[in-house]
Every structure is written in C-alpha cells, then in structure tokens.
Amino acid sequence: MFQKWIDKSMRKSPWIYHINAGSCNGCDIELVSVLTPRYDAERFGFHLTGTPRQADIVVVSGPITMQSVDRLIRTLAQVPEPKCVVSLGSCPRSGNVFKGSFAIAGPLEKYTHVDVSVGGCTPKPEAIVAGLAKAAEILEEKRREMRKHGGMAPSPAVAAAVEHEERAEFGTGDATAVRQGAEQEADA
C-alpha cells in the first residue's frame, strides 16, 4: 500500500531542474512565466530545484552547443531514477535557426532519451504546462515499471521498456498549432 502511495505522489510532486544548453533565453523566460503567479505551476506540485540530485523532470532548452554538451551529459547522469527529460522549444529538437552551425552538437536525442518534447520558438506557457503534466504522468509510469522489475537501480529491461514507450509531442513550432495542442490536452 505504501508503495502505491509513493507511485501516486510521483505524479503529484515533480520537481524541475532546468538546463540551459545555449538557449537564447526566450524559452527560459517562458518557463519562468509558467512557474510564477500567472500560470502558477506550483498548484500541480511543480517546484524548481537548484540541484540535479533532487530533480524528477529535467528541462533542457537551447540547441546543445559544443561548450555545453559535456556539462549536459554529466548533469543528466547525476539525476536519480526515475527521471524524465523534457526538451523545451525547437532548438533541442532540431537546432532551429542554428542548424548546421559548427558550434552545435545537437539534437538532444543523440545524448539521451527524450520523454516529452514541447515545440515552438518559443512555446506558449500553456503548451509547457501541458508538456510538464504529461512528463509527470510518464514519471509515475516509470516508477511502476521500476517497481515491477524490482530494486531501485534501473535494469536493462526498464531501459528497454522506457525506450519503446511512445513519445508524447506537443506543438509544431507554429503558434496556433501549439495553442490547439495545449487546448486539446487541457480538454483531455
């Protein structure tokens, strides 16, 4: 019973850690607006932590510059399981306007499994909230999987199960489509 409580509270208290991998600060400002009084993600239990050790959801913004790739990998390795990786904006997905630059080492999928990808340049706060809520659900699923396969350490079976999991995507970079996606998510 205690384990089931823990599973449920996984979704109710996801803590966010934000990595800026060479972002132009646009997505970062939108993420901050999600956490501040207007959108107030704290009402769903989201909380911005200062250290990767306490994080559940890692939000990556920016096109993964050559300078940041080493730090990105090291920071992601410090996050305890179960964890979710959310890519924020178009940059970690495709490189966006920086695509083809010699200074870019992206996309993010080359280095880690991406659970939720919120598109847009910059994504609307509604889309970010919807994406984070989806990530919180995936977090609960992952915790269930981990428990099924026993132990706290992630086994290869878990990694495979996670790998096959369908990746949720929001928005397409086009503002209206993003808003529609967010509204559909809100309706569902």
Please give the residue ranges that form the binding site for other proteins (CB under 8 A).
3, 5-7, 9-10, 12-14, 37, 40, 42-45, 47-51, 53-54, 56, 78, 80-82, 143, 152-153
Please state the closest distance from residue 47 (CB atom) to other proteins, in A: 8
The verdict on whether omega for the bond into residue 154 sits within 30 degrees of 0, i.e. cis, is no
- Report the nearest approach of other proteins to the CB of residue 22 (Å): 20
CA 181/CA 188 separation, integer angstroms: 11
Q: Identify residue 121 by its one-letter amino acid code.
A: C
CB of 184 to other proteins, least distance (A): 23
Closest C-alpha to 171, from 104, 86, 111: 86
User: For residues 61 and 96, which CB has a smaller minimum distance to other proteins in the complex?
Assistant: 61
Rank residues 7 and 109 by Cβ distance to other proteins and give the closer one: 7
Would strands 47-48 and 15-20 be described as parallel, antiparallel, or unpaired?
parallel
- Residue 126: DSSP 8-state: H
CB of 50: closest distance to other proteins in angstroms?
A: 3
Q: Residue 141 carries which side chain, given as an amino acid letter?
A: E
Residue 56 or 63 with smaller CB distance to other proteins: 56
Distance CA 132, CA 20 (A): 17
Q: Name which of 137 and 169 has its Cβ closer to other proteins.
A: 137
